[in-house]
Structures are given as C-alpha cells and as structure tokens.
C-alpha cells in the first residue's frame, strides 16, 4: 500500500482549484516519538504516549530526559539550550516553570524566554533533516501497521 501525504502535495491549475486526489481507504495509525540533538549526538528516540498532555510531558522532562542525557558530558549539559515547539503540552505553566529552573534563559519555545512561534518557518535540525531522513528509511517499503512503524522508527 502506498501512503499519500496530502500536506506535501500542491496542485497548481488554471481550471480546477479544488482538485482532489483519489486514494484507497486506509486504517490510520500514528506514534508519538521524541528525539533531540546535542552537538553531533542524537538523543533518543523515545516513545511518548499517543495522547500527550502537560502532566505527561513534565514527567518526561523530570524523569526520562535526564536519563537520556546521561552520556552527554556535564559541561555540555550545563550550557546547552532546550528547544521545543508551541504545542499545548509544551506550553503549560508547570512545564515553563520547570524549564525556567533547569534551563534558565536557555530554552526556546512559545513566548518564554526566547520566542519561537508555532509552525515557524525557521526550521531546527530535527525538522530540517532528521525527521525527513527517518521517514525516508521508514517508508522505504509499505508499513504493515502501528507496531511495524514503531519498530522501524526505533531501529533508525
């Protein structure tokens, strides 16, 4: 089965501005994966729950992220910046307070302290390269289901 990503498809036509693409019905599935880059080191990937909320994200930052960063030298961890997008779980007051304490004036997100607008056209390395590369490997052959998708992402 071939998956069609309509977000990357643009149709420019003089006569039919509402062109449609026919496709087969498909069962949709998704996985929620976190990954980071510190210098030239990939951190993760780490599987998050499909329905991420502020509490779960804060628990990830407090209890999982320190373990993921364990191999990063202390002097780099002390000076590194943390960047995430503006999704609601990332924007909760508890999450922003945690980031203010652990990354004082060194985190980029929606509003505090370095503004990074949601859906910003300025791409970070994960969006610019990493996720596109992972997708090219994962979707090299048809994905058979959610478990197959997860195995492929975690193997990259």
Q: Would you list the domain boundaries of the chain?
A: 6-155
Q: What's the confidence (pLDDT) of residue 156?
A: 76
Q: pTM for this structure?
A: 0.72
Q: Which residue has the higher pLDDT, 17 or 90?
A: 90
Predicted confidence band of residue 4 (pLDDT cuts 50, 70, 90): low
Share of the chain above pLDDT 70, in %: 74
Per-residue model confidence as pLDDT tens digits over 97-127: 999 999 888 888 876 677 666 666 666 777 7
Query: CATH assignment of 6-155, given 3.40.140.10, 3.40.50.300, 3.30.420.10, 3.90.1580.10?
Result: 3.30.420.10
What are the DSSP E strand ranges found in the chain? Answer: 32-38, 41-48, 82-83, 107-109, 114-115
């Amino acid at each position: 089965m071939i998956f069609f990503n309509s977000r990357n498809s643009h149709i420019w036509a003089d006569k039919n501005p509402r062109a449609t693409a026919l496709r087969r019905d498909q069962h949709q599935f998704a996985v929620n994966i976190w990954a980071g880059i510190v210098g030239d080191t990939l951190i993760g990937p780490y599987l998050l729950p499909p329905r991420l909320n502020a509490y779960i994200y804060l628990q990830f930052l407090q209890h999982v992220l320190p373990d993921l960063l364990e191999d990063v030298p202390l002097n780099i961890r002390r000076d590194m910046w943390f960047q995430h997008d503006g999704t609601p779980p990332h924007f909760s007051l508890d999450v922003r307070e945690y980031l203010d304490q652990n990354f004082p004036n060194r985190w980029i997100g929606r509003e505090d302290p370095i503004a990074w607008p949601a859906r910003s056209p300025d791409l970070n390395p994960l969006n610019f390269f990493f996720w596109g590369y992972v997708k090219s490997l994962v979707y090299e052959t048809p994905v058979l289901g959610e478990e197959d998708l997860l195995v492929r992402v975690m193997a990259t």
